Amino acid sequence: MKTRVTQLLEIEYPVIQGGMAWVADYHLAAAVSEAGGFGIIGAGGAPASFVREQIIRCRQLTNKPFGVNIMLMNPQAEEIARVAVEEGVKAVTTGAGNPGKYMAMWKDAGIRVIPMMDAVYDAFQEEHEAQKENGFNCTEIDGMTGFVFCNRFGNVHNPQTVNRTIRRISENYNAEEVLKAKREKRQPIILPHFSCHHLRHTFCTRFCEQETNIKVIQSIMGHANIETTMDIYAEVTDMKKTESMKNLAQKYDVF
């Protein structure tokens, strides 16, 4: 399959994996790239040293193009932006901020940049306008209609189809990894099974780490009552608590 996206990113299929923090690690990115898509390592709130290690490990598993997602709210965003250049990734995706001050550096290094900015919003608006002319999808899910992303038959993608795609990618990767590990006389690094619902929970967990207004979280996640939001997403890890206290100490020097 050849499209403008496949040509720009030098991939087989116009599939760009999401840079989900703490889920999109080098295993997943390498598997997606090996399958012909564009794998992305999610930097999230991780330090630059961790991101560099992820890039190095990903390159050990694939020689195909992959990228890094940089959350620009990360205190080490500038260091991570330089790591992307130093390690020579094919592309970066960005979010939670304006990547303008890094663009010249990335452009000089030949790195493609895929920011979630006005241009992306405009593309969604163009699709919306096209559907206004050609007709919107009539499917209603939990009171929601007018879905943008549809399959070739004009229907909303269903979880079963997405899960089959995820399973196919992970199984293909695991099969190749077993053979590769056998040749290299090491233990294979196997991707565990996961579904699109796992990704929803992961997104919400990462979102909760950035957003303190529980009503905003409830609204975005579509929970009918706030107890659901609190029961499922009120937990935090010891690492996250330590990180939060360090951030607080950096902002407020009381001694």
- Give the pLDDT score at 179: 92
3-state SS class at 30? helix
Alpha carbons 42 and 20: distance in angstroms, whole number:
5
SS (H, E, C) 71-104: ECCCCCHHHHHHHHHHCCCCEEEEECCCCHHHHH
DSSP E strands: which ranges in the chain?
Answer: 39-42, 66-71, 91-95, 112-115
Identify the segments of the chain with pLDDT beneath 50: none
Alpha carbons 80 and 254: distance in angstroms, whole number:
30
- Give the pLDDT score at 91: 85
- Give the pLDDT score at 196: 78
- Give the pLDDT score at 116: 65
Task: Mention every residue, 6+ apart, whose C-beta is less than 8 A from residue 234.
Answer: none
CB 174 within 8 A of CB 190: yes
What amino acid is encoded at 154 in this protein? G
- Give the pLDDT score at 254: 55
Task: Mention every residue, 6+ apart, whose C-beta is less than 8 A from residue 66.
Answer: 29, 30, 32, 33, 38, 39, 40, 41, 58, 89, 90
Task: Mention every residue, 6+ apart, whose C-beta is less than 8 A from residue 190.
Answer: 174, 177, 178
